[in-house]
């Protein structure tokens, strides 16, 4: 069908042309009591800036406000006129308490200036007291700063933020409706079309907050209010108390959970500070499951999800344990829903965020439509740079000249690049950078900062990936000095890059010759000592490390050429240790490390405080020893091997070793944790399900508490296995002749590498 005025092609059911706004013949024109056309009133309300409000009724026009709101499809406010209530400033009057949460109360209030009902949220007086009062106030203000930036029909709007003698408060849109949780309880199970319609609104609100770099982090049915909108519920997201903007610091309060179990992803349960926007996508998946199945989302069961089968795939992709396996964005999630085949396809077909909602009647419209096809309202959108409202047909903002499409494209690319940077996916950042619009016109401050951020992310990613590529190539050639140099350069740009740390420490393990359970060599040692000699032990005061005395002696260091899995640089030679020294009875534990440094760097945190500390560098160990004091140091390599052998001459201090496969060496089992027997059930272990020829069948592998295996003859535990251990000296070629090692006596602590 063609528009009779501009000849643009329009849909058969359209009542107005989306290009020129011409009314299509056959539609009756209703009028309100004052004679103005209904369509004119709707256009007026719909094209006002989103943060504007209707004027208060003037004398002689007491019913005008109600008429305007009713004609616009909004319920008229039921403002109390009894004059009661407690004043709040000179503009608001508290009427009654609506409810309370962990640290705030919400009141129904009257806006005396505009004659409307509002909700006032204010911090509890008791929440500001005690040692956590400052944190409670910070979290409350954090919510204010987050939500005041979000002006979207699916997010509860903030009108005002202020404080008085009783503390800070927020003035928000009042929603006279149930929470989604209450609605689900009453309805038991929603019609699928209604469930998907509600989800679409929730997801669009979340997508909008993500576009403004705000992550909610506590999405759940109780944080979604349902407002009446033209005879159906309109979902509105509330409670941004856990919201996080960009790299803002997290606020953690005792008694105030960082998220809600059932809707919170695994990474948020482990560390709420380090989640990205995919945490909200995980919660959306749980909410979608609850909407379509009517079941609580503690356990998501495929048989509870109605057809089509693609709906189940969408839900399970949202709730992947690995954030990288979830949808990258809410836009992608909504796009996937729009591709469903089955009874829900028609509903979600227009749910992509590129489809605008009419500000007057909320009908979905094309992104480039100038007028709403249902009610004829002029379509507007705010400039992302200066927030001026512009018609959607204008490619450049009339206020600042920003190329709106280019700005949104750069904004989307920047969001993806930030996420990839957090996941250390440097090549993906380079690919996103290649998609930037050519010479985008972004003259404002926001646009300039956005472009600068994109350039910075790209340059860092390109440099890091180049260094990693060099390190990988050098590792393949076993050029360990080159590996070390390249990995250090990558870590100088990003000190948390896991691959760079692994490459660096693999190089150090070769340079420092840190021994493992398969590379210990037989050798001659001192005559066996009685157990009473080795019972002499002291406890380091600050760290609590138990140290065993090791007397001087002579042994053969290195491995014979006939030993299995021998390294090529392990030439045997005689070493005399001319001094006695103390060595840690156990590997340094996570508890001991945290006691000295106040930090907990270990990857295998769930192994427990008695498990060895790992994920620490040689420099970290040096700093630990310095902080611990009392002469604590790393052992020299010769000291370590001498103490490990404990007077034995076999490959292991328990006897000769027989290697069946890389992870199957039963001779190790009584004395060491290694890949073949290190199965664990705790969360955070390495995925070992695909490891071949394991001694034991396990799905996850990780570290174990120290001291559980048999010690050597000198009372030292875990000298082989569990984790690799750092030594003080650097690697050098073994001499052919005998060596006498002279070192001042003193305690030598044991610490571990992150390899």
Give the SS3 label for residue 490: helix
Beta bridge partners of 378: 371
Give the SS3 label for residue 504: helix
Q: Name which of 707, 742, 738, 740 is nearest 721 in CA terms.
A: 707
- List, in sequence order, every beta strand (DSSP E) within 222-284: 224-229, 232-237, 244-245
Q: Is the dihedral of CA 141, 145, 146, 150 positive or negative?
A: positive
Please say whether the beta carbons of 172 and 107 come within 8 A: no
Long-range contacts of 304-311 (CB under 8 A, 24+ apart): 306/192, 307/342, 307/343, 308/340, 308/341, 308/342, 308/343, 308/344, 310/336, 310/339, 310/340, 310/341, 310/342, 311/340, 311/342, 311/344
Give the SS3 label for residue 422: helix
CA dist., res. 590 & res. 602, Å (int): 7
CA dist., res. 265 & res. 287, Å (int): 13
Give the SS3 label for residue 351: coil
CA dist., res. 211 & res. 282, Å (int): 17
Residue where the block lists tokens 């006695």: 580
Half-sphere exposure (Cβ direction) of 518: Cα atoms closer than 13 Å: 16
Q: Name which of 407, 493, 498 is nearest 450 in CA terms.
A: 407
Cα of first residue to Cα of last residue in the chain, in angstroms, is 68
DSSP for 186-222 reads HHSS--HHHHHHHHHHHHHHHHHHHHTTEE-S---GG
- List, in sequence order, every beta strand (DSSP E) within 327-445: 356-357, 364-365, 380-382, 389-391
Give the SS3 label for residue 387: coil
DSSP for 652-680 reads BTTB----SBTTB-GGGTTT---TTT-B-
Q: Which residues contact 474 (CB under 8 A, 6 or more apart)?
A: 480, 482, 483, 486
Structure tokens at 591: 């508890």
Q: Which residues contact 687 (CB under 8 A, 6 or more apart)?
A: 699, 700
Please say whether the beta carbons of 676 and 665 come within 8 A: yes
CA dist., res. 558 & res. 547, Å (int): 25
CA dist., res. 90 & res. 112, Å (int): 8
Q: Could you give the residue ranges of the DSSP H alpha helices within 252-397?
A: 266-270, 278-293, 309-318, 330-338, 345-348
Distances (CA, A) of 86 to 103, 142, 508, 523: 21, 26, 69, 87
Burial of 2 (0-12, 13-18, 19+ CB in 10 A): exposed
Q: Which residue numbers are catalytic?
A: 218
CA dist., res. 407 & res. 415, Å (int): 12
Q: β-strand 573-577 against 739-741: which pairing, if any?
A: parallel
């Amino acid at each position: 069908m063609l528009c009779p005025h501009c000849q643009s092609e329009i849909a058969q059911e359209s009542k107005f042309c989306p290009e020129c706004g011409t009314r299509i013949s056959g539609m009756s024109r209703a009028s309100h009591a004052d004679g103005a056309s209904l369509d004119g009133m709707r256009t007026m309300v719909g094209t006002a800036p989103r943060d504007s409000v209707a004027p208060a009724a003037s004398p002689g026009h007491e019913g005008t406000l109600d008429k305007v709101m009713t004609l616009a499809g909004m319920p008229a406010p039921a403002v109390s006129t009894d004059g009661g209530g407690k004043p709040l400033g000179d503009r608001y009057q508290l009427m009654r308490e609506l409810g309370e949460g962990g640290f705030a109360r919400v009141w129904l209030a009257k806006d005396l200036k505009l004659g409307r009902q509002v909700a006032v949220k204010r911090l509890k007086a008791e929440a500001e007291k005690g040692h956590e009062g400052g944190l409670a106030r910070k979290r409350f203000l954090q919510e204010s700063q987050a939500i005041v930036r979000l002006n979207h029909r699916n997010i509860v709007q903030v009108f005002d933020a202020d404080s008085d003698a009783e503390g800070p408060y927020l003035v928000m849109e009042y929603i006279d409706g149930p929470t989604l949780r209450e609605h689900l309880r009453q309805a038991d199970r929603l019609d699928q079309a209604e469930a998907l319609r509600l989800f679409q609104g929730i997801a669009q609100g979340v997508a909008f907050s993500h576009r403004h770099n705000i992550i909610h982090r506590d999405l759940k049915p109780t944080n979604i209010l349902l407002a009446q909108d033209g005879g159906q519920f309109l979902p509105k997201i509330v409670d941004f108390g856990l919201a996080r903007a960009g790299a803002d610091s997290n606020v953690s309060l005792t008694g105030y959970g960082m998220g809600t179990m059932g809707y919170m992803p695994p990474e948020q349960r482990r560390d709420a500070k380090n989640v990205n926007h995919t945490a909200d996508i995980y919660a959306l998946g749980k909410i979608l499951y609850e909407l379509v199945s009517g079941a609580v989302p503690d356990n998501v069961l495929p048989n509870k999800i109605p057809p089509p089968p693609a709906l189940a795939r969408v839900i399970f992709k949202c709730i992947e344990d690995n954030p990288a396996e979830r949808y990258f964005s809410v836009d992608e999630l909504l796009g996937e829903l729009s591709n469903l085949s089955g009874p829900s396809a028609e509903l979600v077909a227009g749910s992509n965020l590129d489809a605008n909602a009419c500000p007057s009647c909320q009908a979905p419209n094309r992104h480039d439509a100038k007028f709403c096809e249902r009610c004829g309202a002029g379509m507007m959108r705010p400039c992302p740079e200066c927030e001026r409202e512009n018609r959607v047909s204008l490619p450049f903002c009339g206020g600042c000249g920003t190329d709106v499409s280019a700005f949104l494209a750069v904004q989307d690319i920047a969001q993806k690049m930030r996420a990839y940077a957090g996941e250390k996916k440097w090549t993906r950042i380079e690919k996103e950078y290649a998609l930037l619009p050519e010479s985008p016109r972004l003259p404002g401050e926001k646009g300039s900062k956005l472009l600068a951020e994109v350039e910075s992310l790209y340059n860092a990613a390109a440099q890091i990936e180049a260094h990693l590529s060099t390190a990988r190539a050098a590792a393949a050639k076993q050029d360990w000095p080159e590996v070390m140099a390249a990995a250090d350069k990558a870590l100088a740009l990003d000190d948390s890059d896991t691959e760079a740390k692994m490459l660096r420490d693999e190089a150090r393990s070769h340079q420092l010759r840190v021994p493992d359970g398969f590379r210990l060599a037989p050798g001659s040692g001192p005559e066996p000592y009685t157990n009473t000699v080795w019972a002499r032990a002291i406890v380091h005061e600050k760290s609590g490390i138990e140290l065993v005395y090791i007397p001087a002696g002579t042994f053969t260091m290195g491995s014979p050429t006939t030993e299995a899995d021998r390294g090529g640089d392990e030439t045997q030679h005689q070493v005399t240790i001319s001094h006695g020294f103390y060595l840690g009875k156990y590997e340094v534990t996570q508890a001991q490390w945290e006691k000295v440094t106040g930090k907990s760097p270990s990857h295998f945190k769930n192994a427990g405080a008695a498990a060895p500390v790992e994920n620490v560098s040689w420099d970290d160990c040096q700093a630990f020893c310095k902080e611990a004091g009392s002469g604590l140091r790393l052992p020299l390599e010769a000291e370590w091997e001498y103490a490990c052998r404990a007077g034995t001459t076999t490959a292991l201090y328990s006897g000769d070793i027989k290697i069946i496969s890389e992870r199957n060496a039963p001779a190790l089992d009584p004395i060491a944790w290694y890949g073949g027997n290190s199965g664990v059930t705790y969360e955070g272990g390495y995925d070992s399900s695909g490891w071949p020829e394991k001694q034991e069948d396990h799905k996850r592998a990780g570290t174990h508490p120290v001291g559980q295996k048999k010690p050597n003859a000198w009372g030292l535990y875990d000298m082989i296995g569990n984790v690799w251990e750092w030594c003080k000296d650097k690697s050098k070629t073994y001499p052919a002749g005998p060596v006498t090692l002279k070192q001042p006596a003193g305690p030598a602590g044991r610490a571990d590498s992150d390899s």
